[in-house]
Structure 1
């Protein structure tokens, strides 16, 4: 049985395919929260801890193949350390954690993308984090073709996942939408092709409701 992390803080994760605008929306959300007097920790996976920086370099920039199960285990290792040393302490201090990617990304990328068993991938991450789930997850949904066009305008180098073919990213998108459909109380799905401010307003409304609760 999964549980939200206890404490007075609020844990928000942003999910979606590469090029969906997570970094932009995370920055706007942090600015809005700080303006409301909240202390915000912005972080990401992989790479949100000292150990995570080394793991990020392996999983995203290693030259050569990585076995899909090894890849899933590396992400879970990063997640275990990140939640234990960064996320839980921040929530216990009453902070708002705004996080770029969490276990839903592993289910989508390693489960659907790499064609591993999605439930096994999810269970691995839940075991690694002692069943920790965010309070709110924002899914920025964007057609994989449009997402690729955005990346092509902003990238000169692609990481291992960004460089995958269109069918991989189509599976990832479908998996994210399936996850959101299964947990509507946690997820907010936003059309990432909408204007930036419109997306930001929808996210603010959802987060404001969570803060009131």
Structure 2
């Protein structure tokens, strides 16, 4: 399958503000006439949303978490993401595989080699063109979460857990600097928004996949 659209993912610990900015980016792109699919993980399909509910509310170990999110991801990729990219649509996804390495890998201490194998099996080479990592201190993110909503199972984790998750994102960023852009999400909203738009310019001029 030839993928002609752009695949952009939004990452960060819970409370980093990525959901706010993904909506804004979708509005900007649609105003420019770009077809956009706005989706999320775990989730994005009826099956994946059911798995999301289990993931967020039922107690389980790290392996079960990883298997659930990759099962949801497989259905999401086959049902929505890959067809949208093939049709030339820009896909904006709230979380993707970097989150699994950060949360289950760094946060839970789960085997990164196993996660890498699952990534290969499920994604078959499909990777984001650009990932925006909204980086914020866990204490700041916790304050935002408390003010915004009732926490789910993951959001109730201790600050030390989110410190490990943050370090996992930092490791992914260091390993893929051409794909992952760190956004200082503790800055003023206007500053964050400007950084996001600047990062989007990274891929605006790239040739379409498969072009000579």
TM score, norm. by length of structure 2: 0.94
Q: Which runs of 5+ in 1 are unaligned?
A: none
Name segments (4+ residues, structure 1) moved above 3 Å: none
CA–CA distance in structure 1, aligned partners of residues 100 and 120 of structure 2: 11
CA–CA distance in structure 2, aligned partners of residues 41 and 119 of structure 1: 31
SS in 2 for 1:140: strand
Aligned position for 1:88 = 82
List per-residue Cα deviations over 1:4-38 (Å, max 9, x = no partner): x8422100000000000011000010011011110
CA–CA distance in structure 2, aligned partners of residues 74 and 82 of structure 1: 12
Q: Which runs of 5+ in 2 are unaligned?
A: 207-212
User: Is 1:182 the equivalent of 2:175?
Assistant: yes
TM-fit CA distance, 1:208: 2.6
Aligned residues: 206
SS in 1 for 2:120: helix
Aligned position for 2:11 = 15
Aligned position for 1:199 = 192
CA–CA distance in structure 1, aligned partners of residues 134 and 86 of structure 2: 28
TM-fit CA distance, 1:197: 2.2
TM score, norm. by length of structure 1: 0.93
Q: 1:40 aligns with which of 20, 36, 58?
A: 36
* Counterpart contact for 1:12–1:134, Cα < 8 Å: yes
Quote the RMSD (CA, aligned, Å).
Answer: 1.2
